[in-house]
Amino acid sequence: MARFEPPSVADRLWRFGRALATDPVETLRYVPEEISRRREHPVTYDVDTAWEEHLHGLIGAPWPCPEVPNAAELWETVARELQQCGLAFGRHTYGGYSDADESLARAVRCVVLHRRPEVVVETGVARGVISRYILEALEQNGRGHLWSIDLPHPFRPDLHPETGTAVPARNRRAWSYVEGSSRRRLPRLGRQLGRVDVFVHDSLHTMRNTRFEMDRIGRILAPNGVMFIDDISTHQGFALWTRAATDITTLVCPSADGEGLFGVVCANGA
């Protein structure tokens, strides 16, 4: 696993200044996020160790699922392809951000395959592991489109060429990559789409940003629609949002490496 060395204070200040000069609008949006981080604290959940079976039950899909071995094969393929590009794969490989967790990627793929959605939205692309999983599943279904909102790492321009490397050209037909922060891009995209069947939050994992994205998508989540929210144990965002919501069923799932948790929200049918 790649080791992530947090930058020194001087380095952080220098990177912030450089980002401010390059893209003041997006860079200044980090200030309220950093301020809100001070109110964050870790949250403990009742983790569902049989989450995968329960997720399949929620979406009316069979369990054991015949797609699980295919997801493992795709994981190996993505790891090999990234390695061939000279890229490490896993936690903290993208300037402190991590590539997708294997369990989350498999869960998203299964929901896309079983639910056959028309409209899929994700936030946070990095190398595009989840994007690849979704796009391959949409292709297998022969329907549906993915919109991915992503702000390439604002403080590490050297990483920008890595954006979407896990998605080969042949998988990009049903893909719209929307560059910018979710704060800037999600409201308009939401209005334009009017309805979302499957949503994946894997962008900036602050309480403020997570709740913002869940609020925006929650308004237009289709009946029986599914939201995946990564990294829910480091702040209160998922807990607060789900506590206030009605007509939903939630699952709390362990990441494959046991280091984190992701949450699932299923909108109850109409």
Ligand X SMILES: C[S@@+](CC[C@H](N)C(=O)[O-])C[C@H]1O[C@@H](n2cnc3c(N)ncnc32)[C@H](O)[C@@H]1O
Among 135, 149, 214, 222, which residue sits at the site for ligand X (rule: CB under 6 A)?
149
For residue 165, state whether it binds ligand X (rule: CB under 6 A). Answer: no
Whether 204 contacts 182, CB under 8 Å: yes
* Residue whose C-alpha is closest to residue 261's, from 71, 104, 140: 104
Residues in 107-126 that interact with ligand X by CB under 6 A: 123-126
64 preceded by a cis bond (ω within 30 of 0):
yes
Q: Which stretch binds ligand X (CB under 6 A): 39-47, 51-59, 90-98, 257-265?
A: 90-98
Closest to ligand X by CB, 146 vs 149, is 149
CB of 33 to ligand X, least distance (A): 8
Closest to ligand X by CB, 149 vs 264, is 149
Residues in 194-233 that interact with ligand X by CB under 6 A: 202-204, 209
Q: Which stretch binds ligand X (CB under 6 A): 97-105, 168-176, 232-240, 248-256?
A: 97-105
CB of 201 to ligand X, least distance (A): 9
Question: Which pairs from 22-30 meet CB under 8 Å and 24+ separation?
Answer: 22/157, 23/154, 25/184, 26/151, 26/154, 26/180, 26/181, 26/184, 27/154, 29/181, 29/183, 29/184, 30/154
- Residue 164 sits at φ, ψ, to 5 deg, of 70, 15
Footprint on this chain of ligand X (rule: CB under 6 A): 94, 97-100, 123-127, 129-130, 149-153, 181-182, 202-204, 209
